[in-house]
Amino acid sequence: MANQDKPFGFKLVGNLSGVNNHRVNEYNIESGSTQGIFSGDPVKMLTGGFIDVADAAGDVKILGIFRGCQYVDANSKEVVYSAHFPAAKTATGDIVAFVEDNPNNLYEVQCTGSLARTDIGANVDIAYTAGSTVSGQSKAEIASSSGSGTANYRLVGVSKDSENNELGSANVNMIVKINEHAYDQLAGGV
């Protein structure tokens, strides 16, 4: 049976330390940010302490996965809780983003194409598409071709989803770990 083509971003499925860590931490998004961020999108830290979507192959170290936000709408003055942050949204005060930032988390992600069992252990990059402004859900996928040795994600297994775990077919769901994480120390680093 062919895999379904239904990207959903990064879905937390486990943790290498065995801890059930569904915890999120709070970070800030700059008011008027020009790009939307969707639930399941990988995010990066910018200078100045703000976060933004990590949408490019080989992007800087990944901070974690975005899980929604809270802000005061500049027009209505109402507190808004949202699964996504709309592009160019202006807000009053801080825009608080909720991010899964544990470097040991494992995520299920759909691939853009097909992979083989021999690809497990390879480093891959993202193939980013903006998510749904209706559901707030990410459409981020991982590229089906191996990236450089410093690509942001490592393939660690195949999904247990029986409708999307057929290796060798397009849109297979894989389990990944963030390989280039903001809170991981590089080998030989200080």
The rounded average pLDDT for each run of 10 residues, N- to C-terminus, in the chain (190 residues) is 89 84 87 87 91 80 94 90 88 90 94 86 88 94 74 90 87 91 63
Instruction: Show Cβ contacts of residue 43 under 8 Å, excluding neighbours closer than 6 positions.
Output: 27, 37, 51, 52, 53, 54, 62, 63, 64, 65, 66, 97, 99
pLDDT, residue 70, reads: 95
Handedness of CA 59, 86, 68, 156 (dihedral sign): negative
- Cα–Cα distance measured from residue 119 to residue 131, given in angstroms and rounded to the nearest whole number: 27
Report the candidate in 134, 122, 127 with the shortest Cα–Cα distance to residue 110.
127
Tokens of 96: 């608080």
pLDDT, residue 24, reads: 92
- Cα–Cα distance measured from residue 186 to residue 125, given in angstroms and rounded to the nearest whole number: 18
Question: First-to-last CA distance in the chain?
Answer: 49
Residue bearing tokens 């903006």: 130
> Helices (H), strands (E): how many in the chain?
0, 14
Report the candidate in 145, 123, 118, 169 with the shortest Cα–Cα distance to residue 5.
169
pLDDT, residue 58, reads: 65
